[in-house]
Amino acid sequence: MSRFLSARRATLAPYTPGEQPKDARYIKLNTNESPFPPSEQARRYAAEAAATLNLYSDPECTTLREKLAAICGVEPGEVLPTNGSDEILNFAFMAFCDDTHPAVFADITYGFYPVFAQINNVPMIEKPLRDDFTIDPADYVGHKGLVVIANPNAPTGIAKTRDEMEAIIRANPEAVVVVDEAYVDFGAESCVPLIHKYGNLLVTQTFSKSRSMAGARLGWGIACKELMADLNAVKYATNPYNVNAMTMAAGIGALADESYTRENCRTIMENREWTRQQLTALGYEVLPSKTNFLFVKHPTVSGEEIYTNLRKKGILVRHFTKERIRDYNRITVGSIEQMRAVVAALGEEAGA
């Protein structure tokens, strides 16, 4: 730390991203990336856009917004593309929170929410999940500021239905309710159809998981035009060219290839079910997942030991040290070959 760092930033606890090893020694199941390459159209469009990198990217993301709107069944003015969905989440904290408008979220959820709260100087209220790691709707009533719910949740993988989410949105008319749908394409119900019914709903989605574009950094928000005006004000005060030209082109290409996305999601869901069955048969406890990962615990072997031994065998998964979940590991669902390898290794851990 230099002597120039502001006192406000000195206590900042940044988000810790999953490891990105530089060698290809590992079967990498630690950051919920897709095992499949981006669609060919995405790659081709991005390569063509490289020829125009002397120009700034379109700050309005006009074509991308039109395509996203068509796919989501909303108006282009109800869509805001961002640099990963992390950016639209940060914009929401910047736009809708202050000293008297806190951010409310679960104790076990996406680890970036507390960081967004801290960097934006926003008070936060953490609501413990129930013992079975589900959200208690009674905790989400009558808040003001921002309510943030990952649905499906991470790292648990558990999803609420749209009806359950709608009840929470309705119960918080004085708060903006953010539904973070980073993993929605793997079997959960989206709240996008509700944006015309609720002026306090912001849904966020991403190209990082189902569309195999984590490295491109592309996400988007969907909300009514009034919320969009607020979020756009923050965007134009922060980084008007927040989506670079190659990423924007890749996104347009990916959206022209939705059958590829759907097919990949189907494969991941099949691989997830196969892995869940295998691990359950080996004695592991596996939470019900609607995502591209599984949250897994052995009744007697510690989470850390499993993490360390898998790593020695060349398999990277994600282990969190937080008390309530330290016995678990989060395992990304990859190709069937990767899943066979992880099941074989976990079989050895379980003494099978």
In the complex, the residues that contact ligand PMP under the rule CB under 6 A are 84-86, 110, 150, 154, 180, 182, 206, 208, 214, 219
d(C-alpha 155, C-alpha 158), whole Å: 8
Burial class (CB in 10 A: 0-12, 13-18, 19+), 227: buried
Going by C-alpha positions, the residue among 71, 101, 49 that lies closest to residue 207 is 71
Q: CB 330 → ligand PMP: shortest distance, Å?
A: 10
d(C-alpha 310, C-alpha 316), whole Å: 7
- Judged by beta carbon, residue 86 or residue 327, the one nearer ligand PMP is 86
Q: CB 316 → ligand PMP: shortest distance, Å?
A: 15
Q: CB 150 → ligand PMP: shortest distance, Å?
A: 4
Q: CB 140 → ligand PMP: shortest distance, Å?
A: 17
Fill in the amino acid letter for 279. Answer: L
CA torsion 279-284-285-288 (nearest 10°) is -10
Burial class (CB in 10 A: 0-12, 13-18, 19+), 139: middle
Q: CB 312 → ligand PMP: shortest distance, Å?
A: 26
Going by C-alpha positions, the residue among 121, 114, 82, 118 that lies closest to residue 231 is 82
Q: CB 83 → ligand PMP: shortest distance, Å?
A: 8
- Judged by beta carbon, residue 109 or residue 278, the one nearer ligand PMP is 109
- Cis before 137? omega within 30: no
- Judged by beta carbon, residue 96 or residue 113, the one nearer ligand PMP is 113
Q: CB 219 → ligand PMP: shortest distance, Å?
A: 4
d(C-alpha 44, C-alpha 63), whole Å: 16
Using alpha carbons, list the distances in angstroms from residue 247 to 12, 25, 47, 227.
30, 28, 10, 25
- Judged by beta carbon, residue 84 or residue 102, the one nearer ligand PMP is 84
Q: CB 244 → ligand PMP: shortest distance, Å?
A: 14
Q: Token pair of 132, please?
A: 């079975």
Helix (H, G, I), strand (E, B) or coil at 105: strand
Other beta carbons within 10 Å of 41: 17
- Judged by beta carbon, residue 150 or residue 227, the one nearer ligand PMP is 150
d(C-alpha 95, C-alpha 295), whole Å: 33
- Judged by beta carbon, residue 105 or residue 198, the one nearer ligand PMP is 105
Q: CB 291 → ligand PMP: shortest distance, Å?
A: 9
- Residue with nearest beta carbon to ligand PMP: 84
d(C-alpha 32, C-alpha 36), whole Å: 12
Q: Confirm if 210 and 180 have CB atoms less than 8 A apart.
A: no
- Judged by beta carbon, residue 198 or residue 220, the one nearer ligand PMP is 220
Q: How far apart are the first and last CA of the chain?
A: 49
- Judged by beta carbon, residue 249 or residue 341, the one nearer ligand PMP is 249
- Judged by beta carbon, residue 88 or residue 279, the one nearer ligand PMP is 88
Going by C-alpha positions, the residue among 202, 205, 239 that lies closest to residue 92 is 202
